[in-house]
Amino acid sequence: MKKIRPIAKYQYDFGNDGRDGKYFIAYYCPVCHERIIRGYNSDTACRTCDTFFDWGEHPPEIKTVTTLVWDE
């Protein structure tokens, strides 16, 4: 039984009225691309295609780098 890492996508949720938006990581099956609803390390296999997941030891992190540039 070979395990595969899920696909992790960086996504934005606008929240209830657009003022409480935030970025989050959504997980998908790497074989059938079905959304993994419960998130990191909660499902051991895909509910659609039965692919087993390798979650690794640490979850992926969102790291943001912001650059300030002067107009010339």
- Mean pLDDT to the nearest integer, 6-16: 89
pLDDT band at 62 (very low <50, low <70, confident <90, very high): confident
- Could you list the beta-strand ranges (E) of 14-50: 22-28, 35-36
Distance CA 36, CA 39 (A): 6
CB 53 within 8 A of CB 44: yes
pLDDT value at position 28? 93
The chain-wide mean pLDDT, for the chain, equals: 86
Distance CA 59, CA 39 (A): 10
pLDDT value at position 40? 65
Give pLDDT tens digits for 26-55.
999 999 999 998 766 677 889 899 899 888
